[in-house]
């Protein structure tokens, strides 16, 4: 197994990066308070259609890697696009010594964001660990979902998430493992090198991979959040909940997603009555980065109905 797979699985590496995106994007967000969290969010886009809330991968990462895709700017021509940092990460920090870190808290924060934005119902998209989170949210708040989009998500039962790093990238996994000790004792150079290897395995296109890596800068990764949330996830099974979904749902995956094998997405699609399934044939874990035009076209067609 890939050396980061336990971390990534703990972190749900459908998750993504121990790095944050370089902020070529100028953040202009706001915060609001819940009883035990400060939540940062940003509203982008100029369109007048219903807003889309995008939930990033993690746990333990902020949303900024999403800005390395051009897809959201295109979506923003038609509708507001809303990003937020999950509690304890990025700009969602505050003096909250008794802050909960579990799945229920993450669901409650998403519901608090919806309420803060005064949305009766919302279009909701989750990527990677964010896909798991939006499924969990929808199970508790089905009346708040207008459209649900699940992109390269972790499995509904977290231990069923399928990694394929060893099968496709044994050389990169070996190099990555070589940084393990130094990374664990906190050497930032080793962490950066290990993550460089890891991120390089998430793409179909070497050109898109190199551009994405060039756009990354060292950023915050909250290991305690990662560990606490993942430990809580191990006791849940969302599979029985998926069969109850009665709102429009689109499940998407990259054909060459090594981080979460497409079989996971297909099983989610088969479990949700009336859902739609789309495979991006030239993408890995992030089709909105590798095939942004096609991604936007599929997304907008789905949201139009």
User: What tens digit of pLDDT does each residue of 51-76 get?
Assistant: 999 999 988 889 988 999 999 999 99
pLDDT of residue 243 exceeding 60: yes
Rounded mean pLDDT of the chain? Answer: 89
What's the rounded Cα separation, in Å, for the pair 111 and 215? 32
Rounded to whole angstroms, the Cα distance separating 255 from 262 reads 6
Residue 190 has pLDDT above 90, yes or no: no
The model's pTM = 0.91
How far, in Å, CA of 4 to CA of 12, rounded? 10
Structure confidence by residue, pLDDT tens digits, 3-50: 333 334 333 333 443 344 444 678 899 999 999 999 999 999 989 999
Q: What CATH number should be reported for the domain holding residue 148?
A: 3.40.50.1820
Per-residue CA distances from 58 to 192, 210, 245, 304 (Å): 17, 22, 24, 29
Enclosing domain of residue 242: 5-303
Domain count, the chain: 1
Distance CA 270, CA 266 (A): 6
**Given pLDDT bands bounded at 50, 70 and 90, which one contains residue 221?**
low
Q: What was the pLDDT predicted at 224?
A: 80
């Amino acid at each position: 197994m890939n050396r980061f797979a336990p971390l990534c699985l703990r972190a749900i590496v459908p998750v993504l990066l121990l790095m944050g995106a370089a902020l070529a994007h100028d953040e202009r967000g706001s915060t609001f308070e819940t009883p035990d969290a400060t939540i940062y969010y940003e509203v982008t886009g100029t369109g007048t259609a219903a807003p889309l809330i995008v939930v990033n991968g993690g746990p333990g990462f902020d949303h900024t890697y999403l800005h390395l895709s051009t897809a959201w700017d295109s979506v923003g021509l038609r509708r507001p696009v809303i990003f937020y940092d999950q509690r304890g990460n990025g700009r969602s920090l505050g003096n909250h010594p008794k802050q909960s870190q579990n799945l229920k808290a993450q669901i409650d924060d998403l519901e608090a964001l919806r309420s803060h934005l005064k949305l009766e119902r919302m279009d909701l998209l989750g990527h990677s660990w964010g896909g798991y989170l939006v499924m969990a949210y929808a199970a508790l708040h089905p009346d708040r979902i207008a459209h649900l989009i699940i992109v390269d998500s972790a499995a509904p039962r977290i231990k069923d998430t399928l990694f394929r790093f060893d099968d496709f990238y044994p050389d990169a996994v070996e190099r990555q493992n070589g940084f393990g000790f130094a990374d664990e004792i906190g050497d930032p150079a080793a962490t950066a090198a290990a993550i460089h290897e890891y991120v390089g395995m998430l793409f179909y296109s070497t050109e898109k991979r190199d551009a994405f890596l060039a756009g990354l800068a060292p950023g915050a990764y909250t290991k305690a959040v990662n560990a606490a949330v993942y430990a809580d996830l191990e006791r849940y099974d969302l599979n029985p909940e998926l069969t109850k979904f009665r709102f429009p749902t689109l499940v998407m995956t990259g054909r060459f997603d090594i981080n979460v094998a497409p079989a996971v997405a297909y099983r989610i699609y088969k479990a949700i009555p009336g859902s739609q399934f789309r495979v991006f044939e030239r993408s890995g874990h992030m089709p909105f980065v590798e095939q942004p035009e096609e991604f936007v076209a599929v997304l907008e067609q789905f949201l139009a109905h």
